Amino acid sequence: MPRLIFNTATTLDGYIADDDDSLSWLFAVPGADEASADFSVFLDSIGALVMGSTTYEWILRHEDLLEHPERWTRSYADRFSVVMTSRALPLVEGANVHLRSGSVADVWPELRDAAGGKDVWVVGGGDLVGQFDDAGLLDVVRVSLAPATLGSGRPLLPRRIGPDRLRLESVAQNGQFAELAYSVIKRA
């Protein structure tokens, strides 16, 4: 059965994006390119991905995907991708992207089946991850802690997951990032 994995980078003060929903702070970290190279190992284990509309819209803008749809394939290949949204959004030409609304629990069977035995990556954001945890579906939280602070912005995870539900599985250094992996213990 595929695992549902939230894998993201965060600042020391716990933000994944700034007040303008930008990740520019992340790409300014010295050695970020080296850390990105190791990311391909993670992507090889992913069969499907899911993200919220704010994350998707940022990727569209940042990568200029409507003008250069081939960039989607470079990053995400032909993986089945779901954008959770309550509104119409443009789709990247030729990408395996699907818009869905409603409960994450209702979308999970489609993601699980599309993953083909591999894991499902929750790209972001934090509220979406919280919805998956609320539904009892979140299995792993992997966080790359960056040497930066923002003071405000989009929080890593705007939900409470107590220490009784998170078990540290690994710690590693990747360039300037500290990578932490936690398994999520299901609620009784």
| CATH code for position 175 | 3.40.430.10
Residue 160, helix vs strand vs coil: coil
- pTM of the predicted structure, to 2 decimals: 0.93
Domain, as residue range, for 157 = 4-184
Residue with tokens 């050695």: 31
Domain count, the chain: 1
Separation of alpha carbons 148 and 101, rounded Å:
34
| Full pLDDT tens readout for the chain, 188 residues | 899 999 999 999 999 999 998 888 988 888 776 666 668 889 999 999 999 999 999 999 989 999 999 999 888 888 999 999 999 999 999 999 999 999 999 999 999 999 999 999 999 889 999 999 999 999 999 999 999 999 999 999 998 999 999 999 999 998 899 999 999 999 87
Q: Which amino acid is at 102?
A: G
